[in-house]
């Protein structure tokens, strides 16, 4: 999942910052005046590489006053722009806005780390306190009538006499976002619009805190006689986690995907599989003070009321107007075109699993906590492919080298480890590399990697930036970060990951390369179109299975021997295995997201709506949604993916289509001419040109759904 770059922030903040990017919290009295020199979080970054965040000096106690001071400084800059006596021009209005808010953006960098990577109960209290204040700040910008009048003056002039392309794109995007967020409302409606945003910001913060609470507090402890089926490396990691939690001699299964998934795949203890499954899929849905169902209902009501003030029938209609899909009907059409084939494949997969269970005499009917376990047995039977055997060749360090190799071939980048201590990091596990151009040696940026799960770190994997490339005030280098939740190994052990986890690792690195390759003049152009920004990272996943990566970097963690050719053949033969599960669990969440926002939220019962909607979809009973509604953070801890979770599939249509272009190229996936087009048209522009136009420049035509269906092994029945 991508976390928005900080300095697309002014535009992002207009669209409700608390949802788009990072939330905020901090407990400290703000009674004393403060200056930038008093608080390290506000200070300009110093040191090498054009300055770097002072993560080693970051303190939760400093965050509240830093945010509040940053808000004041930013609003002073905005007021100066809005109240300027000179006639509005691109330079003194739009460009001035692009240059504003630097101090607050620096604070947001620390705030994002404290929120996502290093959260604590103290910080969560602060974030809850600051969320409404940040919402008020956003409203003061988006509802500044004088500011919008100047923006509109520049916009109107540009419609008659267009500016250079990137400047025109910034003007168009800025005007559209202000318009979408109530700039044209009357005073009474503006007031209510701001009140709703403030209420929502608090609800989003509470939602995410509730999920994190359940992730941290539901831990399954095993004894030595309950380890059947689990690998030696997994057992050692579970023992260490338990010891760290004060349960020496036991084995901890934490309530995160990285811990849950392998346990459900390999554990022979069916009752414990059910317990671990239930803990994970019940996050935010335990009927206690951390239950999210009522929060979701209120979020939906407020979102509908807010867009109603703007004249829209529902939230999805408002949200999708500036996305590639344009409207909810187009998004639904794509999902509904794939759904029947997906659930039909699930039926086939379940039949195969039930047959294996019957052959083994297990006397069970496949339940959701059995799916991964028996799917693995089917994989071994049908394809003679053992996921644990594959995992022995998937070492995190070697996969990192593989990603650097791909970046070198496609982007001409070189990654060099930065000497420890030269660049401050927020945790000892974080490592840093310098990124340079291989030919010229020109510095491109720094890549931070935070690979391991820990308490206070949100689950999943994501990418973010601490500084984006822009050139309107002089070229800046990029500070980009990838964040994962791999289970930290016991000392001296290699980090071994599944093929799916390796794919996700490449995916998030794709986001980082998208940041590094950016060639845009203005910060606003770093912001992405949600159903497009996942495309580039999904496309990079394909390089994991190229022969060049497999033959060089997939080596056994004990012997160092390359992965056998026959095992590679089995992996490729099984490429479409379990696509019913993967597609259905994802699509169920995407469809639920859209249907929730198209429904009337008056008196909505979230639990009932989820059950009835899944029944209407004929959702197979043997698997759950990937993200059940009560912990669907993409959609309810903010607005970044609200009515936009479909975007992964929209992007996957582009991915499959673009992948076929590489398959057909003379040089395959490393074809130099096509790689140049990849960088120039798909990565470098970010949001500087319309995504559909960018794709046509790369491919010569629009993408077609047939490639997606072929990729997943589904019947090709659509010509959309």
Reduced 3-state DSSP string for 412-465: CEEEEECCCCCCCCCCCCCEEEEEEECCCCCEEEEEEEEEECCCCCCCCCEEEE
Contacts of 647 (CB under 8 A, 6+ apart): 323, 325, 530, 531, 532, 533, 534, 641
C-alpha 499/C-alpha 405 separation (Å) is 18
Query: What is the reported pLDDT for 422?
Result: 97
Output the CA–CA distances (angstroms, integers) from residue 235 to 221, 242, 246, 313, in the order listed: 12, 10, 17, 53
Tally Cβ neighbours within 10 Å of residue 333.
14
Query: What is the reported pLDDT for 36?
Result: 53
pLDDT at 128 over 70: yes
Average pLDDT over residues 399-428: 98
Q: How confident is the model at residue 575 (pLDDT cuts 50, 70, 90)?
A: confident
Task: Residue count of the chain, please give it.
Answer: 720
Percent of the chain topping pLDDT 90: 90
Query: What is the reported pLDDT for 527?
Result: 85
Fold equal for 6-142+144-184 and 396-529: no
Rounded to 10°, the helix 63-82/145-160 angle is 50
Structure token pair of residue 323? 């996305």
Query: What is the reported pLDDT for 490?
Result: 85
Domain ranges of the chain: 6-142+144-184, 218-281, 396-529
Burial of residue 29 (number of CB atoms within 10 Å: 0-12, 13-18, 19+): exposed
Pick the CATH number of 396-529 from 3.40.390.10, 3.20.20.140, 3.90.600.10, 3.40.50.720: 3.40.390.10
pLDDT at 442 over 90: yes
Pick the CATH number of 6-142+144-184 from 1.10.3720.10, 1.10.10.10, 1.10.1370.40, 3.30.70.100: 1.10.1370.40
Which residue blocks in 9-144 are alpha helix, DSSP H? 9-14, 17-20, 63-82, 96-99, 102-116, 121-142
CB 392 within 8 A of CB 558: yes
C-alpha 160/C-alpha 64 separation (Å) is 45
Output the CA–CA distances (angstroms, integers) from residue 407 to 31, 186, 297, 517, 538, in the order listed: 49, 51, 44, 10, 15
- Across the chain, mean pLDDT equals 92
- CA-nearest of 402, 368, 207, 203 to 285 is 207
CB 191 within 8 A of CB 199: no
Q: How confident is the model at residue 459 (pLDDT cuts 50, 70, 90)?
A: confident
User: In 3-state terms, what secondary structure has residue 369?
Assistant: helix
pLDDT at 32 over 50: no
C-alpha 354/C-alpha 348 separation (Å) is 10
pLDDT at 76 over 70: yes
User: In 3-state terms, what secondary structure has residue 251?
Assistant: strand
Contacts of 710 (CB under 8 A, 6+ apart): 656, 716
- CA-nearest of 670, 672, 664 to 699 is 664
Of 56-65, 225-234, 526-535, the poorest mean pLDDT is in 526-535
Of 1-15, 61-75, 502-516, the poorest mean pLDDT is in 1-15
pLDDT at 13 over 90: no
pLDDT at 421 over 80: yes
- CA-nearest of 416, 353, 406, 464 to 108 is 464
Percent of the chain topping pLDDT 70: 94
Query: What is the reported pLDDT for 351?
Result: 98
C-alpha 272/C-alpha 202 separation (Å) is 36
pLDDT tens-digit map of 587-632: 999 999 999 999 999 999 999 999 999 999 999 999 999 999 999 9
User: In 3-state terms, what secondary structure has residue 482?
Assistant: strand
C-alpha 678/C-alpha 676 separation (Å) is 5
Which residue blocks in 183-327 are alpha helix, DSSP H? 187-217, 232-244, 257-266, 270-281, 293-309, 315-319
pLDDT tens-digit map of 266-288: 999 999 999 999 999 999 999 99
Q: Is the dihedral of CA 334, 338, 340, 342 positive or negative?
A: negative
Query: What is the reported pLDDT for 10?
Result: 31
Contacts of 360 (CB under 8 A, 6+ apart): 377
Most confident of 2-6, 89-93, 528-532: 89-93
Tally Cβ neighbours within 10 Å of residue 38.
14
287: left (phi over 0), alpha (psi -120 to 50) or beta: left
Average pLDDT over residues 342-367: 97
Q: Is the dihedral of CA 85, 88, 91, 97 positive or negative?
A: positive
Cα angle 693, 462, 68 (rounded to 5 degrees) comes to: 100
Half-sphere exposure (Cβ direction) of 163: Cα atoms closer than 13 Å: 17
pLDDT at 75 over 70: yes
pTM confidence score: 0.86
Phi, psi of 291, deg, nearest 5: -75, 135
Rounded to a whole number of angstroms, the CA Rg of the chain reads 25
C-alpha 535/C-alpha 648 separation (Å) is 8
pLDDT at 391 over 80: yes
Query: What is the reported pLDDT for 6?
Result: 29
Query: What is the reported pLDDT for 362?
Result: 97
pLDDT tens-digit map of 129-154: 999 999 999 999 999 999 999 999 99
Q: How confident is the model at residue 24 (pLDDT cuts 50, 70, 90)?
A: very low
Q: How confident is the model at residue 640 (pLDDT cuts 50, 70, 90)?
A: confident
Phi, psi of 553, deg, nearest 5: -120, -10
Query: Which residue is it, tokens 């007021």?
Result: 79
Cα angle 62, 68, 73 (rounded to 5 degrees) comes to: 115
């Amino acid at each position: 999942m991508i976390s928005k770059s900080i300095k697309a922030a002014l535009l992002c903040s207009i669209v409700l910052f608390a949802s788009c990017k990072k939330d905020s919290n901090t407990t400290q009295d703000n009674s004393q005046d403060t200056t930038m020199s008093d608080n390290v979080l506000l200070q300009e970054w110093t040191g090498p590489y054009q300055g770097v965040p002072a993560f080693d000096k970051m303190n939760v106690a400093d965050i509240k006053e830093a945010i509040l001071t940053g808000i004041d400084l930013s609003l002073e800059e905005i007021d100066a722009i809005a109240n300027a006596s000179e006639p509005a021009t691109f330079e003194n209005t739009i460009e001035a806005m692009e240059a504003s808010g630097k101090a607050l953006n620096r604070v947001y960098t620390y705030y994002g780390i404290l929120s996502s990577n290093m959260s604590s109960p103290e910080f969560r209290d602060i974030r809850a306190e600051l969320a409404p204040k940040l919402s008020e700040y956003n409203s003061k910008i988006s509802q500044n009538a004088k500011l919008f009048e100047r923006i509109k003056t520049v916009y109107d002039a540009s419609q008659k006499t267009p500016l250079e392309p990137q400047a025109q794109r910034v003007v168009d995007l800025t005007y559209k976002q202000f318009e979408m967020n109530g700039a044209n409302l009357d005073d009474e409606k503006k007031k209510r619009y701001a009140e709703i945003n403030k209420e929502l910001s608090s609800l989003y913060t509470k939602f995410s805190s509730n999920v994190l609470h359940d992730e941290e507090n539901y831990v399954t402890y095993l004894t030595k006689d309950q380890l059947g089926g689990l690998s030696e490396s997994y057992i050692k990691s579970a023992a260490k986690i338990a010891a760290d939690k004060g349960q020496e001699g036991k084995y901890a299964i934490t309530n995160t995907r990285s811990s849950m998934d392998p346990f459900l795949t390999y554990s022979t203890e069916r009752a414990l599989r059910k317990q671990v499954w239930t803990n994970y899929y019940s996050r935010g849905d335990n009927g206690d003070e951390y239950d999210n169902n009522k929060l979701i209902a209120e979020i939906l009501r407020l979102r509908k009321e807010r867009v109603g003030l703007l004249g829209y029938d529902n939230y999805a209609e408002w949200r999708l107007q500036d996305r590639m899909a344009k409207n909810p009907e187009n998004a639904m059409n794509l999902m509904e075109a794939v759904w029947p084939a997906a659930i039909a494949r699930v039926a086939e997969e379940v039949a195969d699993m039930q047959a294996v269970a019957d052959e083994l005499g297990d006397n069970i009917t496949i339940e959701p906590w059995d799916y991964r376990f028996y799917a693995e047995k089917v994989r071994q039977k049908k394809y003679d492919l053992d996921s644990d055997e594959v995992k022995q060749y998937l070492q995190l360090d070697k996969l990192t080298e593989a990603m650097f190799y791909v970046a070198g071939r496609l982007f001409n980048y070189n990654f060099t480890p930065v000497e420890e201590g030269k660049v401050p990091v927020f945790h000892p596990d974080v490592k840093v590399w310098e990124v340079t151009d291989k030919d010229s040696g020109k510095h491109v940026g720094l890549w931070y990697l935070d690979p391991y799960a820990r308490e206070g770190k949100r689950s999943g994997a994501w990418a973010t930036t601490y500084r984006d490339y822009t050139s309107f005030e002089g070229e800046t280098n990029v500070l980009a970060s990838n964040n994962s939740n791999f289970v930290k190994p016991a000392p001296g052990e290699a980090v071994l990951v599944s093929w799916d986890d390796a794919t996700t690792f490449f995916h998030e690195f794709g986001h980082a390369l998208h940041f590094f390759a950016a060639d845009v003049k203005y910060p606003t152009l770093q912001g992405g179109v949600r159903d497009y920004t996942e495309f580039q990272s999904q496309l990079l996943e394909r390089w994991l299975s190229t022969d060049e990566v497999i033959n060089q970097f997939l080596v056994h963690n004990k012997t160092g021997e390359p992965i056998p050719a026959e095992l590679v053949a089995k992996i490729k033969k099984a490429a479409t295995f379990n696509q019913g599960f993967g597609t259905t669990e994802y699509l169920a969440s995407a469809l639920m997201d859209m249907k929730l926002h198209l429904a009337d939220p008056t008196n909505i019962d979230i639990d009932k709506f989820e059950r009835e909607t899944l029944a209407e979809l004929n959702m197979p009973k043997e698997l759950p949604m990937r993200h059940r509604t009560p912990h669907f953070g993409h959609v309810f801890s903010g607005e970044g993916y609200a009515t936009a979770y479909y975007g992964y599939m929209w992007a996957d249509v582009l991915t499959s289509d673009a992948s076929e272009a590489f398959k057909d190229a003379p040089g395959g996936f490393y074809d130099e001419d096509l790689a140049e087009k990849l960088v120039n048209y798909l990565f470098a522009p970010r949001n500087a040109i319309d995504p559909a136009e960018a794709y046509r420049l790369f491919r010569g035509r629009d993408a077609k759904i047939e490639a997606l269906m072929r990729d997943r092994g589904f019947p090709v029945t659509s010509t959309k």
